[in-house]
């Protein structure tokens, strides 16, 4: 943010010729920035201990009455070293001594004490009333406040004009970075940096998503990216601050709680009241712009979903024509069709992320809503996008075998099967997901529920009567329904196996002499196998 002039500091008071102040301290021996720390007020007191009545960041003026010696003792009423130590501990930023009121010069003991405490000490000549210093500092504070308000109005006007440009959000981010003299980044709902301006980390190139050349810049970039992603995943409206390597970072979400549209991050700016008002104006404009895009986004999503239906119905020519007019060509065949079931709270963010990727890589990605979740289409040679998507949105993604567009429906069916067998955050290819054959598909919630119902009478009988019919039938079927081999495996007589199988038929109400009945029972046992 731009500096304002005059500043309410001791250096500014010393520089005013009308006040005639003289610095009695050696500036090189003072604490860093001792003369440039903003002053809240100027106060005067001759008390031996005025600290109970003082505030932080204050300039104290005195005539030195408290340093007069006690009659007959030769000792000062207020020892200078203890006096200055108390002022320093209280946060006093400087001490002004009015000469020619009680004595002609500054007491040497006071000069030494201020030197030891690195406290600025200056002389106030007799012709300069203390009230003149208080008024001069108050005027500087008022002038600075006026300058800050003027800057805030000017900044908001410049940002409003930037918002009217074709790339409204990007131009707004750039103008905010310019006005704050800081790095500003805009993250989408998935936590991906989509626009930025300024230098992040104090080194590197200007603009771009990752232009940091220094190690500190890389550390700061990683920290901001991680925190932005964490805030957006929580899904609640929030404003927060944190520090990385001495750089202050401010984060502010965009959109409504539960429907966040993104986040604005600001690094390297100390925001005062006026600075926060400018940022608030940008947050309001950006949030409004993103919310206004929601209706248009829903229309686009509906149209994309319709094109997915057209591809499933085998009308690739219609899908190609519409896609070319609106978003660019469909990905070139051979393609991989992926299915990604998403939780309702992540669908909007996922759509926004895919829209951005599709716009950046025209002809390399198509997506839309399908019958069982999101459908993503990429060239067979470029499946990295699917893995990135699965990690970002912590979802299971299934992909079909590479096909041409006539095989789209078959590839989609394969993708939905693979998605049901994929681990969260990973992509499962159909070829790998079905390595176990047809029976591998039985391990679905539906398959297990049907198997549980089919075997429940047998399991209930075993539990109630202490029998082992379920295990006997499993072993018998595993040995191709051969009584002798099952008996040998179980270590019992063949007549016992035959009797148990007959009893199992009665409990289940089926004829296990038929192949379909045996196959169904075996499938149920496989589905519930641990």
Statement: 165-271 belongs to CATH 3.30.450:
yes
Judge contact between 93 and 117, C-beta under 8 A.
Answer: no
**Picking from 61-70, 180-189, 320-329, 453-462, which range would have the lowest pLDDT averaged per residue?**
61-70
Task: Please tell me the distance from the alpha carbon of residue 2 to that of residue 5, in angstroms, as a whole number.
Answer: 10
The helix or strand, by DSSP H or E, that contains position 357, with its residue range, turns out to be helix 344-360
Judge contact between 44 and 20, C-beta under 8 A.
Answer: no
Quote the pLDDT of residue 18.
Answer: 93
Cα R_g (the chain), whole angstroms: 39
Whether residue 334 is preceded by a cis peptide bond, meaning omega within 30 degrees of 0, is: yes
Quote the pLDDT of residue 89.
Answer: 93
Domain spanning 445-527: which CATH class is it, in words?
Answer: mainly alpha
Mean pLDDT of the chain: 84
The model's pLDDT over 13-68, given as tens digits with 9 standing for 90+, comes to 999 999 999 999 999 889 888 999 999 999 999 999 999 999 889 999 999 988 87
pLDDT band of residue 74 (cuts 50, 70, 90) is very low
**Picking from 54-58, 242-246, 397-401, 449-453, which range would have the lowest pLDDT averaged per residue?**
449-453
The model's pLDDT over 504-521, given as tens digits with 9 standing for 90+, comes to 889 888 888 888 888 888
How many C-beta atoms lie closer than 10 Å to residue 517's C-beta? Answer: 14
In this predicted structure, the answer to whether residue 379 has a pLDDT above a threshold of 90 is yes
pLDDT band of residue 209 (cuts 50, 70, 90) is very low
Residue whose pair of structure tokens reads 């980044």 in the numeric block:
185
Per-domain residue ranges of the chain:
10-140, 165-271, 297-435, 445-527
- What secondary structure letter does DSSP report for 441? G
Which tops the pLDDT comparison, 421 or 490?
A: 490
Q: Provide the sign of the torsion angle of the four alpha carbons 293, 295, 298, 303, taken in this order.
A: negative
Task: Please tell me the distance from the alpha carbon of residue 105 to that of residue 492, in angstroms, as a whole number.
Answer: 117
In this predicted structure, the answer to whether residue 396 has a pLDDT above a threshold of 80 is yes
Domain spanning 10-140: which CATH class is it, in words?
Answer: alpha beta
In this predicted structure, the answer to whether residue 323 has a pLDDT above a threshold of 70 is yes
Q: Which residues pair with 184 in a beta bridge?
A: 197, 266
The model's pLDDT over 357-368, given as tens digits with 9 standing for 90+, comes to 888 788 889 999
Q: Provide the sign of the torsion angle of the four alpha carbons 378, 384, 388, 394, taken in this order.
A: positive
Mean pLDDT of 192-219: 61
Quote the pLDDT of residue 78.
Answer: 67
Phi, psi of 50 (to 5 degrees): -85, 0
The model's pLDDT over 252-297, given as tens digits with 9 standing for 90+, comes to 998 777 778 789 999 988 888 888 888 888 888 777 666 666 666 6
Judge contact between 487 and 474, C-beta under 8 A.
Answer: no
Q: Calculate what percentage of the chain has a pLDDT beyond 70.
A: 88
The DSSP secondary structure of 415-479, one letter per residue, reads: HHHHHHHSPTT-EEEHHHHTTT-GGGGG-SHHHHHHHHHHHHHHHHHHHHH---HHHHHHHHHHT
Return the half-sphere exposure (C-beta side, CA atoms, 13 A cut-off) of residue 365.
18
The model's pLDDT over 80-122, given as tens digits with 9 standing for 90+, comes to 999 999 999 999 999 999 999 988 889 999 999 999 999 999 9
The model's pLDDT over 420-479, given as tens digits with 9 standing for 90+, comes to 878 888 898 887 755 555 555 555 666 677 778 888 888 899 899 899 998 998 899 888
The DSSP secondary structure of 94-158, one letter per residue, reads: EEEEETTSS-SS--HHHHHHHHHHT--EEEE-TTS-HHHHHHHHHHHHHHHHHHHHHHHHHHHHH
* CATH classification for the domain delimited by 297-435, as one of 3.40.50, 3.30.70, 2.60.120, 3.40.1350: 3.30.70
Quote the pLDDT of residue 335.
Answer: 93
């Amino acid at each position: 943010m731009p500096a304002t002039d005059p500043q309410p500091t001791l250096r500014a008071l010393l520089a005013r010729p009308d006040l005639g102040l003289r610095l009695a301290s050696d500036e090189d021996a003072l604490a860093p920035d001792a003369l440039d720390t903003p002053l809240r007020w100027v106060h005067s007191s001759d008390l031996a201990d005025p600290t109970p009545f003082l505030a932080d960041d204050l300039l104290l003026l005195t005539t030195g009455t408290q340093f007069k010696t006690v009659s007959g003792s030769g000792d000062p009423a207020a020892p200078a070293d203890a006096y200055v130590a108390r002022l320093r501990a209280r946060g006093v930023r400087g001490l002004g001594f009015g000469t020619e009121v009680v004595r002609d010069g500054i007491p040497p003991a006071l000069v030494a004490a201020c030197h030891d405490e690195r406290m600025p000490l200056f002389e106030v000549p007799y012709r300069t009333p203390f009230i003149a210093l208080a008024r001069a500092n108050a005027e500087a504070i008022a002038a600075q406040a006026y300058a800050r308000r003027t800057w805030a109005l000017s900044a908001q006007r410049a940002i409003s004009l930037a918002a009217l440009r074709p790339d409204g959000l990007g131009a707004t981010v750039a103008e905010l970075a310019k006005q704050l003299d800081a790095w500003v980044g805009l993250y989408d709902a998935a936590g991906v940096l989509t626009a930025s301006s300024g230098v992040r980390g104090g080194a590197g190139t200007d603009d771009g998503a990752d232009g940091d050349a220094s190690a500190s810049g890389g550390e700061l970039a990683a920290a901001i990216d991680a925190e932005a992603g964490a805030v957006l995943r929580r899904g609640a409206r929030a404003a927060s601050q944190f520090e990385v390597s001495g750089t202050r970072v401010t984060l502010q979400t965009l959109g409504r709680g539960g429907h966040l549209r993104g986040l604005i991050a600001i690094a390297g700016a100390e925001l005062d009241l006026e600075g926060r008002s400018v940022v608030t104006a940008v947050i309001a404009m950006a949030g409004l712009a993103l919310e206004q895009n929601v209706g248009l986004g829903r229309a686009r999503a509906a149209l994309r979903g319709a094109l997915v239906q057209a591809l499933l119905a085998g009308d690739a020519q219609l899908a190609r024509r519409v896609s070319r007019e609106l978003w660019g060509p469909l990905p070139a065949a051979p393609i991989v069709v992926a299915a990604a079931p998403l939780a309702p709270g992540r669908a909007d963010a996922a759509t926004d992320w895919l829209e951005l990727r599709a716009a950046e890589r025209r002809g390399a990605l198509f997506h839309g809503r399908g019958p069982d979740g999101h459908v993503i289409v990429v060239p067979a040679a470029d499946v990295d996008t699917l893995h990135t998507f699965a990690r970002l949105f912590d979802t299971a993604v299934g992909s079909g075998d590479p096909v041409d567009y006539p095989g789209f429906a078959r590839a989609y069916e394969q993708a939905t099967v693979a998605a049901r067998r994929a681990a969260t955050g990973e992509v499962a290819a159909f070829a790998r997901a079905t390595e176990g054959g047809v029976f591998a598909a039985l391990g679905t919630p539906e398959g297990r529920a049907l198997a549980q119902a089919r075997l429940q009478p047998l399991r209930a009988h075993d539990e109630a009567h202490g029998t082992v019919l379920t295990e006997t039938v499993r072993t018998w079927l595993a040995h191709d329904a051969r009584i002798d081999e099952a008996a040998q495996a179980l270590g019992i007589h063949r007549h016992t196996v035959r009797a148990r199988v007959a009893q199992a038929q009665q409990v289940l109400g089926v004829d296990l002499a038929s192949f379909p009945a045996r196959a169904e029972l075996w499938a149920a046992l496989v589905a519930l196998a641990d």
